[in-house]
Amino acid sequence: MAKLISQKNLTTKKLNNNIKIINKFISPTQEMKLFTKTNIVWCVYKNTPHGSSGVFYLSNLYKKPVATNKDGLIGWYNKKNKLGPILDFSDKKKSLKSAKSILNLYNKKKIYTSYCKNQLKFNKIITKQKKFHEIVRNIMIY
């Protein structure tokens, strides 16, 4: 993603200055600080797994909008619950549209707030099913 984001046709000063890529495992303390300070969680996988994602569930725990692609379980949850932008980098036109949807989170507070509220609603649904806390507990125990 670092290479794709740095491409001239996707780069704007505002987008470039706000994206920090962390591509490594981090400690639980670092994880908490990171999720607390972040505005949006990127959960776009190449060759999307059909299962779930720890990062996806942590975005919900911290009520942060989550960017996903349309495939797999996380894509399905996002489409159904509108938890964040759905991104597609399969070609140049779709990549530009995806980059603009990320910028909208910075430029249009109403969109950002809507995703955060949807995360809260989604958390309540999953908590009622008693699945969410089991998933998060397993993620948090290293």
| Domain ranges (residues) in the chain | 68-142
* Dihedral, CA of residue 21, residue 24, residue 30 and residue 32, to nearest 10: 70
What pLDDT is stored for residue 78 in this prediction?
92
pLDDT tens per residue, range 51-71: 667 888 889 989 999 999 888
* Amino acid at residue number 122: F
> What is the Cβ-side half-sphere exposure of residue 91, based on CA atoms within 13 angstroms?
1
Q: Is the pTM of this model over 0.85?
A: no
pLDDT tens per residue, range 64-107: 999 998 888 888 889 999 999 998 877 778 877 887 888 888 78
What pLDDT is stored for residue 9 in this prediction?
53
Tokens matching residue 29? 């303390």
Strand partners, 112: none
- In the predicted model, what is the mean pLDDT of residues 30-52? 80
Q: Using DSSP bridges, classify how beta strands 41-43 and 66-68 pair: parallel, antiparallel or unpaired.
A: parallel
